[in-house]
Structure 1
Amino acid sequence: MSVQTCERNCMGPKNPSRGKFQASIGVHEIFSPEIWKAALTELVATASLMFTLSTTIIACLDSHEVDPKLSVPFAVFIIVFLFLIVTVPLSGGHMSPVFTLIATLKGVTTLSRALLYILAQCIGSIIGFYILKCVMDPRLVNTYSLGGCAIGGKGLNSSINQYEALLLEFSCTFLVLFLGVTLAFDKKRSKNLGLPMVCLVIAGAMALAVFMSITVTGRAGYAGVGLNPARCLGAALVHGGSLWDGLWIFWAGPILACLIYYSVSINLPKDSLVLMDGENDGLKLPLGSSVTIPNGDISKETFYSASHVSQNT
């Protein structure tokens, strides 16, 4: 090997910062078969979730129940939990650009994987709603807008205001992130609780958000929070109509919630404030000088505390 060849090959990359940048955005993952398998899992899971969830919600709304406000969140809880428990070990169980975006901001997912995931989720949503529209009764499709994200079509004077819908979308998405993602991204607590319990918390947070959105407003034409921009986009592309009205809300609200939650999460305490041995609560501090020693048993800690108090007094 010549000296010039050794200098060219043995000194490493000329621009190490470029290599670090490419690694941070995950350029190497594009050529990995595993990321394409994971993206395919996200596509199939999202398509199946959209088909199952929308069918169940429409069935609850079209039932003979006087008030389906409890049945819809319960159905969301069961379905989301089942899909999470299956897909989390395979691809992370995102099935929504919301979870993909916050995972990217937290450094759990690279930018390349995130873009591929979001594309797969949008395509999966379109496929799921297309299958649903092909098999569903046209009357139900038109009545419930294919189960998509609606804030009220034309002629619905009692529909929710766009800014109110945006505030609800932001608040409910932030609630899901604060309750579910905070636990899911905590490696220690997630390991202690186990996968089923983490999935239960996330599914419960989503069901709670849906329940809050459909009970706090009660206005005609409002289908509740979307919590999944891919779901709203897929239904709008397949069904169209009033689903295009305010579609930006179901993207802007979650994105804003992700950004705010990220800024809050980086300032959360790392260690829990647990009462340790040797610490006293607030009520015992004023009573420290009047502590009686039972049976004349004096421990080292008690002796030190008593002597310390006597010296100060």
Structure 2
Amino acid sequence: MEAGDNLASSSGAHPADSSRTIEKSEAASTVCRNKSCSSRFLECIGAHEIFSSELWRASLTELVATAALMFTLTTSIISCLESGETNPKLLVPMAVFINAFLFLLVTVPLTGGHMNPIFSFIALLKGVITLSRASAYILAQCIGSVIGFLAIKSVMSHEAAQKFSLGGCALNGLGPGTALILEFICTFLVLFIGVTVAFDERRSKELGLVVVCTVVAAAMAVAVFVSVTVTGNAQYGGVGLNPARCLGAALAEGRGLWDGHWVFWIGPLLGCVVYSAISSNMPKEGSVPVDEEHSILKLGQDSCFGSPANVRTLVSV
């Protein structure tokens, strides 16, 4: 009986122990899976970069560069408009090109040369930078823009600040719908020309830093030139192309710069999303003919005389 009782008790203990063991193993595997999912998520958003001093040094560089760019670019544009030329707006694209080129040349090796939420956002969409870095960059750019425009306001006369709205982004009689379309098209133009080259590692190395900066700056200048000439509105100053610039001027000056301010954010962001979707389906390499396979002359020759073998036979005869 005792042996039977012991056997019964032992046989009854094994299933309970097994079930507890299975439950513990399942719980452990669930914890591991949860840890794995959470760690992958944190890795995807770049949470590890938050504790990196390199990120904050780069963000500080973006802040300083954006503030300096806003100061020099805005004062250059106002100087062009005050030059007394017959069409002073035509000088604005040149000012944009020179300022953009110089600042890109300096900052690209340091931070990637963003100085604009558009470039940071498209870099995020393309997987070039993480969400943490993009957020830090955009915040730094907005703060830098505010600092730059406050510096402009401190040295610019009150009359000039009122006349040019501190060089900020304003609709000036242009409808919000038209302005939104222009922001979208011009942003897409800059991304399609400039970013397509800049984000192509192979072509960037082949062309070199100077050429890449020239392409991006030229794309921005062309976009500004198109926007200031296409509307026929003499009061419209052109597209913003940089939401941080529009925000900095609006916070520093206020007044009418908040009217339609959303246009200068939504238009560029839509341009980034559309460009990201289109660029993901672009061919990775150029279309290079192989052995004249798609030559028009060859196709015409084949259709008239048959295959290449027949052509050779005909010629030999």
TM-score (norm 1): 0.86
- The answer to whether structure 1 residue 222 and structure 2 residue 242 are counterparts is no
Unpaired runs of 5+ in structure 2?
A: 1-27
Which structure dedicates a bigger proportion of its chain to helix? 2
Q: Is the contact made by 1:81 and 1:203 (CA closer than 8 Å) also made in structure 2?
A: yes
Match of 1:188 among 185, 196, 202: 202
Q: Quick one: which amino acid aligns to residue 89 of structure 2?
A: K
- Give runs of ≥4 in structure 1 deviating > 3 Å: 11-14, 288-291, 307-310
Match of 2:193 among 165, 173, 179: 179
Match of 1:239 among 253, 259, 263: 253
Q: Quick one: which amino acid aligns to residue 199 of structure 1?
A: C
Q: Quick one: which amino acid aligns to residue 57 of structure 1?
A: I
Give % identity: 59
Displacement of 1:305 after TM fit? 3.8
Aligned 1:140-289 pairs, distance under 5 A: 140-152=160-172, 159-288=173-302
Displacement of 1:139 after TM fit? 1.3
What CA distance in whole angstroms lies between the structure 2 residues aligned with 1:201 and 1:168? 21
Q: Quick one: which amino acid aligns to residue 145 of structure 1?
A: S
The CA deviation string for residues 8-28 of structure 1, in whole angstroms up to 9 with x for no partner, is: 9xx988621211111110000
Displacement of 1:222 after TM fit? 1.8
What CA distance in whole angstroms lies between the structure 2 residues aligned with 1:289 and 1:306? 13
SS at 1:279 equivalent: coil
What CA distance in whole angstroms lies between the structure 1 residues aligned with 2:183 and 2:80? 22
The CA deviation string for residues 222-272 of structure 1, in whole angstroms up to 9 with x for no partner, is: 221000000000000000011111100000100111111111111111121
Aligned 1:1-313 pairs, distance under 5 A: 15-152=35-172, 159-288=173-302, 305-306=308-309
Q: Quick one: which amino acid aligns to residue 231 of structure 1?
A: R
What CA distance in whole angstroms lies between the structure 2 residues aligned with 1:217 and 1:278? 46
What CA distance in whole angstroms lies between the structure 2 residues aligned with 1:150 and 1:193? 37
Q: Is the contact made by 1:60 and 1:71 (CA closer than 8 Å) also made in structure 2?
A: yes
Q: Is the contact made by 1:289 and 1:309 (CA closer than 8 Å) also made in structure 2?
A: no
Q: Quick one: which amino acid aligns to residue 306 of structure 1?
A: A
Q: Quick one: which amino acid aligns to residue 36 of structure 2?
A: P
What CA distance in whole angstroms lies between the structure 1 residues aligned with 2:68 and 2:106? 12
What CA distance in whole angstroms lies between the structure 2 residues aligned with 1:20 and 1:289? 58
What CA distance in whole angstroms lies between the structure 2 residues aligned with 1:138 and 1:218? 28
SS at 1:287 equivalent: helix
What CA distance in whole angstroms lies between the structure 1 residues aligned with 2:228 and 2:180? 14
Q: How big is the alpha-carbon RMSD for the aligned residues of Structure 1 and Structure 2?
A: 2.2
Q: Quick one: which amino acid aligns to residue 267 of structure 1?
A: N
- Aligned residue pair count: 285
What CA distance in whole angstroms lies between the structure 2 residues aligned with 1:219 and 1:308? 63
Q: Quick one: which amino acid aligns to residue 110 of structure 1?
A: T
